[in-house]
Amino acid sequence: MKILMFSSDPENPRLKRYAEVLGRLEIIDLSRELGRFARFWKGYKKAKAILSREKFDLITAQEIEHSFIAWLLSNKFNTPWQMQIHTDIFSPYFVRHSVSNMVRVFLAEFLIPRASCIRVVSERIKNSITRRLSHQVVAKPPLVVLPIYAEIKKEGGINLREKYPGYDLYILMVARLSREKNIKLALKTMSEVIREIKTVLVIVGDGPERKDIELEIRNLKLGNSVKLEGWQENLSGYYASADILLITSNYEGYGLSAVEALSSGLPVIMTDVGVAGEIIKNGINGLIAPVGSSYILSGEILKFLKDSNLRLKLKEGAENTKLPYNSFEDYRDKLVDSWLTCKK
């Protein structure tokens, strides 16, 4: 099978592992380094030249902008195309995030009915698409739910208790420091929690909001209770030594860190986004709070600390959670199957 793929991360090592079971995988680089807008024109021209020379079985694209290019090329060369959706694009928080997101929602409504097939990463996204298009008299393309594969190293890394000794509770966040992750909600939550317990929040990740987050930490006088670790390659020690993973996002398509945490036996407290309710089960392997509520989040954290039976139940639940895939090969085979069955 010959696949033409648009990717903003063409050096991702997983792509080589996909290629091992394909006849051909041609990757079109759409990374931002090529120019915020110029990359789309360059990518279109390169893909058009390739498709002019030889026939491919499928075009696949993840981001909404990539999908628009895939649709154009699909029509021109009569080639099936798969639209991959990794974000909950119809969440009200997504559309409020920026003007760019408003445009993406408009594009998505146009493209979804025109895709040959669709792959989403969670039941939440599937349900939101179904609700959004329910009033439209359009043909619904085949849609498959294929979660993201979570793979972390199982040894080495930082031990939080050794690096930051003396706390009663160790809370971990693994997130890009960007607006939709709502790190400031986590900081507000911490300002409420530390009134009752000596706890530390360790945030692993980097991003455009870092300076604003550092300022908020100073304003809330959380210097002793919040630690910014930056980006880290090996997360195994963080997951193994924390008491709980915290996710405060406004929206998520999936929530990879939640699944990584469960694979390490770490329970999760999160807002009602992504895999909340799907893989994270309230009171079983984690606790779920409404989006934007520091009051409820802080209450759930304090409940987790004070109730030893709940802590034990959630930890056992995390350790016993059945994850979507048994191995990377299992995930890869299911992804390739979604390509094989995608028809024009």
The tokens of 32 are what?
Answer: 């931002």
Q: Distance of CA 84 to CAs 62, 65, 125, 243, Å?
A: 4, 11, 11, 34
Neighbours of 334 (CB within 10 A): 16
* DSSP H or E segment with residue 16: helix 13-19
How are beta strands 199-204 and 226-230 bridged, if at all?
parallel
Say if CB 286 and CB 310 are below 8 A apart: no
The tokens of 108 are what?
Answer: 């998505």
pLDDT given for residue 319 in this prediction: 95
Sheet of strand 169-174: strand arrangement: 226-230, 199-204, 169-174, 244-247, 268-271, 286-289
The tokens of 15 are what?
Answer: 């792509």
Q: Which fold has domain 2-149+326-340?
A: Rossmann fold (3.40.50)
Cα dihedral angle (171, 149, 249, 169), rounded to 10 degrees?
A: -10
The superfamily (CATH) of domain 160-319 is Glycogen Phosphorylase B; (3.40.50.2000)
In terms of Cα–Cα distance, which of 331, 330, 332 is closest to 1? 332
pLDDT given for residue 138 in this prediction: 57
Say if CB 65 and CB 36 are below 8 A apart: no
Say if CB 1 and CB 315 are below 8 A apart: no
How are beta strands 244-247 and 226-230 bridged, if at all?
unpaired
Say if CB 159 and CB 237 are below 8 A apart: yes
Unique residue bearing structure tokens 């628009």: 68
Residues of the chain with CATH 3.40.50.2000: 2-149+326-340, 160-319
**What tens-digit pLDDT sequence spans the chain (344 residues)?**
999 999 999 888 888 899 999 999 999 999 988 888 899 999 999 999 999 999 999 999 989 999 999 999 999 999 999 999 999 999 999 999 899 999 999 999 999 999 999 999 999 999 999 888 877 655 678 999 999 998 876 777 899 999 999 999 999 999 999 999 999 999 999 999 999 999 999 999 999 999 999 999 999 999 999 999 999 989 999 999 999 999 999 999 999 999 999 999 999 999 999 999 999 999 999 999 999 999 999 999 999 999 999 999 999 999 999 999 989 999 999 999 999 999 87
